[in-house]
Structure 1
Amino acid sequence: MATPTQRSYSTKGAVRRGNAPSVTGIPLVDRLIHVHPVTTVAMFTPVAAAAAALSVGRTGGWALAAWALAGYVTWTLSEYWGHRIVLHYEPERGFGAKLHYVLHGIHHDYPQDMRRSILSPLLSIPMVAATLYISTGLLDVPPVFGTGYVVGYLAYDLFHLYLHHGRPKNRLLRTLREYHMRHHFRDDTRGFGISAPYWDELFGTSIARTPKAGQPAGAASGGA
């Protein structure tokens, strides 16, 4: 059984209302770690636009559209596996436990805190930078691939924010919001795709269906 120290850095801790306290004790540093949604959009929109502009004339229009789509699909896989492997890797103690809490555990503890619903720049900047470097620098694909990746990331961040703070009227959006809330309040070992929940179906981590009475939560989705 987890000790109290371990449990304080676990996504399975008690859910708290309102905004989370500073994770560092230094307000300025905390504002750099957890940013406002407008800040994220302002940071990455120029990157997406610049990558698209640098791709003009490199190849035909349909090819550029295909590379942008490939970048978007790459983001959805990053979203799923990053959420599953990185954000839900929970060391029991020490620096790793604290880092996990800063990056994601605090979001599970304070799911209504808007700043904690946006991916921390500690992750988003390295992810985008590495993708642009690998795709355009090492593989020499058109930079518009990065446009698709960044647009996918921004769509994910804003979609995730809406699922937590919006009141969707559309049936599809209500279903997706319920799906994500199950990840938070039923079983955080499943349901890792937020803007792309189809990857959960493919990789066997879906919690889209409600289990029957007396049935384990994972059983209705085909197991882990």
Structure 2
Amino acid sequence: MSTVPVSGKGAVRRGRAPAEFAHPVLDRLVHVHPGVAVLLYVPVMAVCVYGARGQGGAWALTGWAAAGYAAWTLSEYWGHRLVLHHEPERGIGARLHWLLHGIHHTYPQDVRRSVLSPVLSVPMVGGALLLGCGAASLPLTFGAGYAFGYLAYDLVHLYLHQAGPRNRLLRHLRRLHMRHHFRDDTRGFGISAPYWDTVFGTSLIRGGRAGAGDSR
């Protein structure tokens, strides 16, 4: 078993993180290739859109898809802030934190540690479908919008770590996220939706700009 550092407080290391489990299959279930997220959630979106036929007009269904996306952005912010950055000092909680997020802060360039583990993403997306489209009887496009938001977050987060964006918006998102990693991991929890940091008082923007020189 690896040592369990606390995210943002241990040394940042380059390259790939070592396997966390003796059995490689188990390790691949926890830390997956980014393509797995696409394979999992594109079909979910397609099934939800197809199944929403007859649940409302085109504009209404589009509106529910937008609501699902907005619900995801709040899940992204609060999940990152309260779950992924809940950092127990010892025991199973510390181990889980390391596996689900601490390892990403220590090895920020490891592709397999830059996408959210299915251990978290499947319950989140599945829960949105069960609660929103099941219990609350919302149109299935709500679930499609939520799944789209999750997949967009995963791919944007991966891109911010692995690429050098030329687009102005993506450069801005990268500066904010690198500041979260290398300057202050107690702020900047909205990755694809940083406006929630402004709303909830955890913004990393100072003096109107996102810290020049943070694009590591």
TM-score by length of 1: 0.89
Aligned residue for 1:111, secondary structure, equals coil
1:139 to 2:154 alignment: no
Distance 1:164 1:25 in 2: 27
1:50 to 2:52 alignment: no
Once superposed, what is the RMSD of the aligned Cα atoms? Answer: 1.5
1:20 to 2:30 alignment: no
Distance 1:8 1:15 in 2: 11
Does the aligned pair in 1 maintain the 2:7–2:101 contact within 8 Å?
Answer: no
Distance 1:39 1:166 in 2: 19
**Which portions of structure 1, spanning 4 or more consecutive aligned residues, are displaced by more than 4 angstroms?**
none
Match of 1:124? Answer: 121
Match of 2:214? Answer: none
Q: Displacement of 1:12 after TM fit?
A: 1.5
Q: Percent identity among equivalent residues?
A: 62
1:115 to 2:116 alignment: no
Paired residues for 1:192-203 under 5 Å: 192-203=189-200
Distance 1:72 1:59 in 2: 18
User: Counterpart of 1:179 in structure 2: which amino acid?
Assistant: L
Residue of structure 2 aligned with 1:78, choices 75, 80, 90: 75
Match of 2:38? Answer: 41
Distance 1:55 1:127 in 2: 20
Match of 1:99? Answer: 96
Question: How has the CA–CA distance of structure 1 residues 9 and 25 changed in structure 2, closer, same or farther, with 3 Å as cutoff?
Answer: farther
Residue of structure 2 aligned with 1:31, choices 28, 33, 38: 28
1:163 to 2:146 alignment: no
Distance 1:47 1:58 in 2: 17
Does the aligned pair in 2 maintain the 1:67–1:145 contact within 8 Å?
Answer: yes
Gaps spanning 5+ residues in structure 1: where? Answer: 212-216, 218-224
User: Counterpart of 2:98 in structure 1: which amino acid?
Assistant: Y
Match of 2:150? Answer: 153
- After superposition, give the CA deviation of every residue in 1:46-98 in whole Å (9 maximum; x if it has no partner): 01110111101111111000000000000000000000000000011000000
Distance 1:189 1:34 in 2: 24
Gaps spanning 5+ residues in structure 2: where? Answer: 212-216
Distance 2:43 2:126 in 1: 13
Aligned residues: 207
Q: Displacement of 1:40 after TM fit?
A: 1.0
- After superposition, give the CA deviation of every residue in 1:13-70 in whole Å (9 maximum; x if it has no partner): 1000001011122211010101111111001110111011110111111100000000
Distance 1:152 1:177 in 2: 18
1:8 to 2:15 alignment: no
Distance 2:73 2:102 in 1: 21
Distance 1:154 1:163 in 2: 14
